[in-house]
Structure 1
Amino acid sequence: MPLSALLPAAASVLALAAPPAHPPAASLALALQDSTGRVSTVTLDCHPAGGDHPGKAKACAALTTVDGDFDRLPAEATVCPMIYSPTTATAQGHWRGKPVVYTHTFGNKCAAAAESAGVFEF
């Protein structure tokens, strides 16, 4: 049997021997919609941290301290402008096997970031 015929078979065997990748313990789709209807979205995976959230490590740490309960996220001491521009934050996905469905309207985008410990800071 020629060597070129053995290479694809060897690659298949090696692929089967590789340990399976573990899915993240949490996977969330986060969105912010401002008062003009503009929507920003990111993904956030935790344990291990991943996705395209710009502050994934900080967001995962905050969510870990409250076991994924968005209503219990602590507010950060941040000065935000007192300009009312309602921003609706949503989260959907799962946190350690539990479904997550969260929606809350904040006074503005800065307040959404500050009052969610940075989870909605994108």
Structure 2
Amino acid sequence: MHMSRARFRWAAVLAGMAVLAPAVPAWADGPAGDYLLTLAPRHGPASTWRLWCDPDGGTLDAASQACDQLAAADGEIARIPARPGLCTLEYAPVRVTADGAWHGRPRHFARTFPNRCVAVRDTGGILFGE
């Protein structure tokens, strides 16, 4: 069978994309949620976790609890209620971001908080709490 040069190039491009695709779990319909979570202090290294829901997993230790919070908020981190509790008035800014999808709909959250305690508390106490 003869393959035209254009078809050969597209086949090579698609094969290359398959090799470069990130290694994520393969479910029939995909997970309900899939997020990359980052907590970045102004000074110091950032922490990053991977979270997917239904089935729950990733590098976040509390994946099941985090997924329960996301399910109650339709995958919108801004809709997760703050965890009760007090934080110090220390000013050590941190930026938290979450990029991903919930049931196929893109989700993005980014906010800067005055310190890590406030960031964890105001996002429900689980997603960025590790």
TM-score calculated relative to the size of structure 1: 0.78
Aligned to 1:6: none
* Pairing partner for 1:121 from 120, 125, 129: 129
* SS in structure 2 of the partner of residue 92 of structure 1: strand
Aligned to 2:51: 44
TM-score calculated relative to the size of structure 2: 0.74
1:64 to partner: Cα distance: 0.8
Determine if the alignment matches structure 1 residue 109 to structure 2 residue 103.
no
Q: Superposition RMSD on alpha carbons, in Å? A: 1.4
Partner amino acid, structure 2, of 1:90: T
| Kept after mapping to 2: 8 A contact 1:92/1:102 | yes
The runs of 4+ residues in structure 1 deviating greater than 2 Å are 20-23
Aligned to 1:74: 81
* SS in structure 1 of the partner of residue 101 of structure 2: strand
Determine if the alignment matches structure 1 residue 92 to structure 2 residue 99.
yes
Segments of structure 2 that go 5 or more residues without pairing to the other structure are 1-25
Segments of structure 1 that go 5 or more residues without pairing to the other structure are 1-19
- Quote the sequence identity (%): 34
1:54 to partner: Cα distance: 1.7
1:37 to partner: Cα distance: 4.5
Paired residues, number: 103
Aligned to 1:9: none
